[in-house]
Amino acid sequence: MTAGTLYGVGLGPGDPDLLSLRAHRLLGATAHVAYFRKAGRLGQARRIAEGLLDPQACEFAMEYPVTTEIPLSDPRYNEILGAFYTECTTHLLGLLRTGQDVVVLCEGDPFFYGSFMHLHSRLKDQAQVQVVPAITGMSGAWTATGSPITWGDDILTVLMGTLPEDTLADYMARSDALVVMKIGRNLEKVRSAIDRAGRLGSAWLVEHATMPNEKVSRLSEVDDTTSPYFSIVIVHGQGRRP
């Protein structure tokens, strides 16, 4: 095991005021910080952490070699991403072996979808790892709608907009409450699936939840064909209400 510890620190849905006390303390104290981002962008994780890091901290930006240029179904996608995660792991292990702690900034909760887990799975048998859970993006989204997502015995299903339309429609029709993530370019497919499931009238699209440009719209009234990658669709449950 390495002398240094890798901290996978969840930053929550976007508002820095929603960081946990532990996350806030770790960010301010670390000498080494790492984060994923699309090449040429600041990146959502780094943006949330702005002003909270030690100005002397050494930053390691892990830039995805590919995001949506290659479809997920193309075998090259896993191959290129796999090599990238291994390269990042090698760099981080180098730091951890010299006794340095490293904080990896994670959007939302580190163990709920996201990229941190691809480092974690490669590092966990060789390095000390600690994970700090966080408020999920979906919690930020349902809070933005101003209504509870689930009541009583409601069943909640969380779906990714990247799934096939038939799969989406099938699961949407069978759940009380719904969360659909990774909307982005999948917006039209998600809307079509939710309509087939008879739930379009009660669906909301939440963009930039908890951030200054937060926007909540009825999905049926959205004309756009794409939406920010981090947008989330919400259908509230209607369970037991004494």
Nearer to a second copy by Cβ, of 41 and 174: the residue is 174
Q: Which one among 29, 58, 69, 78 touches a second copy, defined by CB under 8 A?
A: 78
Nearer to a second copy by Cβ, of 57 and 160: the residue is 160
Q: Is the dihedral of CA 173, 175, 178, 182 positive or negative?
A: negative
CA pair distance 24, 11, nearest whole angstrom: 9
CA pair distance 166, 189, nearest whole angstrom: 10
Nearest CA among 178, 20, 6 for reference residue 102: 6
Q: Which one among 111, 196, 200, 229 touches a second copy, defined by CB under 8 A?
A: 111
The yes or no reply on residue 109 touching a second copy (CB under 8 A) is yes
Please report where in the chains the tokens 């799975």 appear, as a residue.
121
Q: Which one among 7, 36, 85, 204 touches a second copy, defined by CB under 8 A?
A: 85
Q: Which of the stretches 43-51, 106-114, 193-201, 212-220 binds a second copy when contact is defined by CB under 8 A?
A: 106-114
Q: Which of the stretches 17-25, 38-46, 186-194, 224-232 binds a second copy when contact is defined by CB under 8 A?
A: 17-25
Q: Which one among 98, 147, 226, 238 touches a second copy, defined by CB under 8 A?
A: 147
The yes or no reply on residue 235 touching a second copy (CB under 8 A) is no
Q: Are 211 and 15 a contacting pair, CB within 8 Å?
A: yes
Helix (H) or strand (E) holding 156, with range, is strand 156-160
The yes or no reply on residue 76 touching a second copy (CB under 8 A) is no
Calculate the CA 64 to chain-centre distance: 15
- Looking only at residues 153 through 192 of this chain, which bind a second copy when binding is defined by CB under 8 A? 153-160, 162-163, 171, 174-175
Q: Are 52 and 16 a contacting pair, CB within 8 Å?
A: yes
DSSP sequence for 4-17: SEEEEEE-BSS-GG
Q: Which one among 19, 102, 103, 232 touches a second copy, defined by CB under 8 A?
A: 19
Name the token pair of 194.
């939710």
Nearer to a second copy by Cβ, of 136 and 231: the residue is 136
Q: Are 127 and 1 a contacting pair, CB within 8 Å?
A: yes
CA pair distance 33, 46, nearest whole angstrom: 10
Q: Which residues bind a second copy (CB under 8 A)?
A: 12-13, 16-22, 24, 72, 77-82, 84-85, 109-113, 117-118, 120-121, 124, 131-136, 139-140, 142-143, 146-160, 162-163, 171, 174-175, 210, 240-242
